[in-house]
Structure formats: structure tokens, C-alpha cells
Structure 1
Amino acid sequence: MYTNIKVIAFDADDTLWVNETYFREAEKEFAKLLAAYETENKIDQELFKKEIKNLSLYGYGVKGFVLSMIESALELSNYTIKPTTISKILNIGKEMLEKPIELLDGVEDVLKNLQGRYKLIVATKGDLLDQERKLEKSNLHQYFHHIEVMSDKKAKDYKKLINHLDIYPSELLMIGNSLKSDVLPLIEIGAKSVHVPFHTTWAHEEVTEQEQNASNYITINKITDVLDFL
């Protein structure tokens, strides 16, 4: 059982609602558009490298992903890509931004149960406008005291959040699907974390087996299981 918790932070994408699945679908559409220039595997590899290279410039989210697709298309085609294909890439991004929100099973039940007992916040990465739009579409904003869209989720970023919340690290519980972003940095600073795996994980968020076994955290099968520990 977790005791002394004052604030429970929820990751958003792939913790509250489906997200990464749409990126995988977009990557397949992108590979089809570039099929005349390279194999799907090579296109995926080059796009991933471009995304990682651009993270410090564009941050996380759909907009940065689209810019990386355009850059990759230009380079893979040796700058012969047609403007109509660039337009189709932009449309992939627009369709991603307009996706309906698909809540994960049990999310609203958990929020209803915890509201009033703890201060609930969202702590997520991504584009501010997009995350605000998704939260509005989700109809979950009523449960949260505070929404924090973070540029990154490293230990130093969580320390800033804890200072803003005016609590001790031990009084924060983070719930999320990413070991790299939602679990290990919290354990590092003395906070608590619950890992709720999602079936699809971006390669950038994967961690080594050694890292998985080096920290003290709880993994649950579904988000409603967290109620057993509170």
C-alpha cells in the first residue's frame, strides 16, 4: 500500500488514451508514400533517426513528427519528392491531430475513485496545443487540479514539478506507461511510480533489462489495479 501520497500524476498518451498506435499507422502510410525510393524497413530507420536528431529542436508530438517525415522524404528521395507527396505527408499529420480520443479501459473509473482523496494532475510530454485539445476532447479535465505539459521527463524536470506543487518527492505518485519517462526518473528522485504497460512503445522510450530490474516500482496489468495500492 502507498501511504503519505498527496498528489497522483497521470501520464496522458497511452496511459489515459490511445496515442502510439496512431504513430505506427502514420509510419506505415509514410512508408507507402516513399516506397519508390527505399524499403519500408530503411524508411522506418531513417525516420526514427531524424526524429531523435530533431527532438532538441521540435520536442515531442505530432508537429515535430510531421517535420521529421518531410525532412526524411526530401533526403530519401534525393530532393526529388513531388509537392503533392509533401501535401499528403502534411495530411497524415492533420489526420493524427483530428483523431477522436479513445480512452483506455477503466481510466474514468479510477479518476472518479481518486478524485477528492488526492490532488490529481496530468504530467505529460508533447505539444501544448495538441495535449490541451486531447484533454478537452476526452472530457477528463474535470478530474484534474493541474495540467503540466513538460518539454521532457527527466529527473530534473520532475524536481521542478515537485517544487511547483510544494510537496516532498515521497508525496508524489506517478502513473504511466513508459519506464523511461514515467517510472525511472521518479524512483531516482525519491518519488513513487506505477508502471501500466501499453502494447505499443516507441523505440525511444524503451529501456534495457538491467534498467528495468534496477528500480523498485510496481507494474500492473490495467490501470484499475492501482486502486489496490491506494
Structure 2
Amino acid sequence: MTNPIQFWLKDREGLYLRLPVNPSEFTVTSPYGVSKVNVASLGEVTIPGERGLKTVSFESFFPRDYNPAYCEYSDFMNARSWVLQLETWRDTRKSIRLLITGTNVSIPVLIESFEIQPERAGHVGDIFYSLTAVEYREPSVRKVEKKANVVKAAGASRPTQDKKAPKSHTVKKGDTLWAIAKRTYGNGADFKKIYEANKATIGKNPNVIKPGQKLVLP
């Protein structure tokens, strides 16, 4: 009968390894950040924070030979290869995924500690070890956009666009309103616009303009 509890380790390169001997027990801690604040008149108040990183710890051994009494399968790596692989993951600080089937443990971790214990009597060639792994979270950086504070002075208003100054024309000898309108607007009949805008300067007769008079061309 297949054991529902299996310990698997998988790295990002696709190496997928199963522990040959299950630990007799394992410990998972999942702390929560808690702040204690002393508030006047209320006494000490506890404020819950976000969940901390999980830590998984267990002990077991890598057998030299297959023994159906405690081995989960037969075609496992030799004990020394297991030690080298775990030390490589630990020393290079590469994250791996720890999966314990039949439980809710399936998390990326970093190996925090991996210690080999002395050979025990009756286990010649077997390597005993203890391992502690800490949950790994990808670092994330949030971009914060700073908004410039714009302080408006009292009474300040939006700058207005410069209005174009009206065109003007200084009357020369031989000029007529018709001729000026023809040159300016392309139509001599528009002389009436010039006359209406300059009636105070020209006088009652639009046909009489004098050299030197400055006319506004609307």
C-alpha cells in the first residue's frame, strides 16, 4: 500500500527528488506578526499583523541500502549524492519547492540549515540529518508616484493667452478704403468693416481718408 505521505523537493531546473525515508514527524510553524500597544485609558491593546514566513523542520536519514521496512522506494540516490545535492541548494541559496503530500504543505523554501549527524550503531553507511527550511517569498517593489504639490498664490489666476494685437495701416497718398480692403481681405467690398472700426478717425465720409491716418484693420 502506497504511503499517502510523501516528501518531495523540486528545484527550478526541473530536478524532482523524493526522500527515500519519511521523517517520523515534522514541524510547521506559521507565526503572525502581533504588536502590543499601550493606549491610555484602554490599557494594552493587541493588533494582529500579517502572517510571517512558514518554517518546516524534520529529521531522517539517507540509507545506504534498500530496506522495505523503512524505505519508501528502492531506486533512490546514494546517501552521499543526497548530501551533496542538499548542500548545493543550501549554499547557493536557490529556492526549491517543498511538497508534503496528504498535507497543505506545498511552498517554495530556502534551506536554512542542513546538518549531518554521526553514524549510528546498526546503520553502517547510512547518513542521518536534520533539515530546516524557511518559506521563500519573491521580493516585490512597488512604484510610488510622487505628486508635486502646487501652491497657488492668493488671487493668482491661470495665465491667459496673449491676444493678438489688431492689425493697423497708416494711410498713404492715393489710398482708398476699397483698395486697403482689397489688399487685406481680398475683397474691396469689405471696406465697410474698416470704416465702421475707424469711423471716429475718418469722419462721416468713408471716401475721404488722409495720408498719415492710422486705421485699425479688424
TM > 0.5: no
> Which structure is higher in strand share?
2
**TM bracket, shorter-chain basis:** under 0.3
> Which structure is higher in helix share?
1
**TM-score where L is the length of structure 2:** 0.20
**TM-score where L is the length of structure 1:** 0.20
